[in-house]
Every structure is written in structure tokens, then in C-alpha cells.
Structure 1
Amino acid sequence: MRYLPLFMLLCTCVAGSAFGQQANPLKRELDSMYVLDQRNREWLTKLGNNQPLTDSLSAVYKTDRSKLAGVLWAEQTKIDTTNLARAETILKQHGYPGKNLVGKPTNEAVFYIIQHSNKIEQYLPVIKKAADEGEIPFFQYAMMLDRSLMYGGKPQLYGTQASCRQIKKTKQSRCFVWPIANAKTVNERRKQAGFDLTVEENANRLNAAYEPSITVDEVRNTYVFK
């Protein structure tokens, strides 16, 4: 009986695993859902940063650049609603579709869909469980926890969330990092959670002002809340 060399067996196993994931209909569906979740958001980020866009984008939506953001957000709202409904069905059928079921980076798709929804509070325990079990990176749970705290009017823990609001005195809009609990040690927490950037570097990435000592009460006194 002839035996294959060990490296050939390893290659065969890896190839078989990759083929199995490609043949997984749930993986394919989640990949498509993730693309829809991100596409308009990437275009909107470029618009917000005044980055060049292809002329064809305005042509496709039959509008000029000044109105493009509103059109893209309207479409994204419909996509988010459809994505969330399907994600909830998947969660009921499979539990969280993590890396053991659909591989990387498909395991992050449902996280982003929930992160962009109004049901963070409902599914935060599901995301925590997935992170604790290694099905998704822990830093993603940290991001959702921060967003939950911000939406609840509480200081965040990891400094991942920024808010853009109108200043009461000047009526000008400004983006800022939402207040952080124990800001002096936030970079230690970020490192433990798996973030590559410091809170200062992340603020620069978000084009947001960072004031370590600002409190939620000061934010509410400074900015317009509707």
C-alpha cells in the first residue's frame, strides 16, 4: 500500500476544508449579506471624507453627488431591515454562525448586521457568548458593548464609539469620541480585547475629537440631543 507524504495529506485536508466551506450555502448567503451591509457604508464614508467616487455611481442612482448620501442611506435602511430579519432566522436555526460553522471572515457577518440594527440590547448576550467561545474575535463584542453603553447614555469601556452632534452654542456639527469610563486605562483594556490601535489612533481614524476627561453630563450640556 502506498502512503502519501505528510505535506500532501495536509494540503489535501486544507483543500477539502476550503472546498467544504465554499460549498456551504449558509456561508455563501452570509457573505452576500455582509457585502450588502458594507457596500453603501463604504461609499458613504468616501463621500463624508470627500474622496473621489466614480461618475457611474451618480448615474446608477440618477442623482447628483449632493443628494447621493440621502439616496444611499435610504437604500441601506431597506437592506439593513432585510438583513436583520434573515439574520434573526439564522440565529434561531443555528445559533450564532461562528468560525466553526462558516469559517473566517464569514463568522463576522451577523455581528455587523446586529451592530447596525436597533436590536443590540437583545442580542448582546448572544455576541458575548460567541466571543467567549472563540467563534468571533473578542474585540467585536467590545465594540457592541460600547455601542450599547453609548445608546444607553452611559460611558463606554473601550473607546470604540464616536458621535456626531450639533454644538449648542455655535450650531456647528462636530464628531467626538463618546465619554470613556476610566479613560486613563482604556488602552490597556483595548490591548487585552485585541484592538491594534490605541484610542487616540482610533479617534484619528474616525475623524473624531478625543477628550479623555469629558463626562456624559458635559456632553449633554455641550451638544444637541433630540
Structure 2
Amino acid sequence: MKLNCGILCLLSVLVAFSAACQSPMATKPKHNLALKQELDQLEAVDQQYRRLFGAGPGMEARFDSVAKAAGIPPEQVGPYLSQRMVAQDSINIQRVGQIIQRYGYPGKTLVGEPTNEVALLVIQHSTRIPRYLKLVEQEAAKGEVPFYLYARMLDRHLMYQDKAQI
């Protein structure tokens, strides 16, 4: 009888402790999973041509594979990839613009980390840095994106204006 009472008391304490640990403060924030998936796919598309340009072992083999697949001479692979990358960047920035218009900047509260960096990456690869720079600065100040990424964007913006980087 005493053993059962002791077990019941222990179970009561464990249940109370478990309930306290599941308070609203301890729950994980809910992210927009559909938007997170879309941005993760957008990042993959953004990087596909850039990975092919990556220097290092296997670069010639990658270029040879692209030349064969595209039916072009190997010396035309660089311009071919550049052209495709610029076209894809244009599509990507249009979509990011639509996302920002609908949701605001997709920061870590909305899509989690590291997906919160995808829109910033796409903006960096566009000519629209001036349009979004202030927004990214505000999001960095709120902790929605890492501050160093805002600083990188600011430096790129200054570089494009032939100004000293900070």
C-alpha cells in the first residue's frame, strides 16, 4: 500500500513537471512550412549554376558534361552558364519580391534557420539591392537574419556605387 502511494506521488510530480515544461514559452515556434519548402527549393535553383562554376577538382569534367548535355563546344560553357544563371536570377528575384509583398521578409520567425537567409541570397544576386537594403537592415536589427549578411549586402551595394566598403 505504501509503495503504491509513493509511486502515485512520484507520477503526480512527473505529470506536473511535464505540463510545466510544455508551457507556451517552451514550445517551438510554428513556421510556414510551405513557404520554407519553396524557399529551400529556390536556394537550390539559385545555386545550381554557381556550383558548376565552382573552381577546384572536377571543374573540367563538369564543363565537359555541360558541353555534352547542351550540345555546345567546351569553350562556350562559361558564357552559356552565365546566361542561364542571369535568366534564373531574374525569375528568382521576381518570386522573392512576391513573397516579401505577401508576407514581409521571410525571416527566422516565419521560416526558421537557415531558410531565413534565402531571400537575402537571391537579393544579393540581383540588381535590386537598393530596393531591399533598408528592409534587410531592419530585419537584421530584429534578429530575423544574421547581421553579418546585412553588412555583406551593404558592402556589395557600396561597391556597386564605387564607394568604400564598411
Alignment of 1:15-94 (within 5 A): 24-46=33-55, 51-54=59-62, 55-94=64-103
**Same amino acid, percent of matched pairs:** 34
- Residue of structure 2 in register with 1:3 after alignment: 15
**Aligned AA (1:140):** L
Structure-2 change in CA distance of 1:106 and 1:66 (3 Å): same
Match in the other structure for 1:118? 127
Supply the AA of the counterpart residue of 2:104: G
Q: Which has the higher helix share?
A: 2
Cα distance, 1:131 vs structure 2: 0.8
**Residue 147 in structure 1 maps to residue 159 in structure 2:** no
Does the 8 A contact of 2:52 with 2:59 survive in 1?
A: no
Alpha-carbon RMSD across the aligned residues, in angstroms, is 2.7
2:108 matched to 1:99? yes
Shift of 1:52: 4.3
- Please say if residues 40 and 76 of structure 1, whose CA atoms lie closer than 8 Å, have aligned partners that are also in contact: yes
Which segments of 5 or more consecutive residues in structure 1 lack a partner in the other structure? 158-226
Do the aligned residues in 1 keep the contact of 2:53 with 2:59 (CA within 8 Å)? no
CA distance in 1, matches of 2:142, 2:61: 40
TM-score (norm 1): 0.58
- Greater length-normalized contact order (CA 8 Å, ≥ 6 residues apart): 2
Higher normalized strand content (fraction of residues)? 1
Q: TM-score, normalised by structure 2?
A: 0.77
Q: Distance in 1 between matches of 2:48 and 2:58?
A: 17
Report SS of the residue matched to 1:104. coil
Number of aligned positions between the proteins: 148
Q: How far is the alpha carbon of 1:32 from its aligned partner?
A: 0.8
Higher CA-based Rg: 2
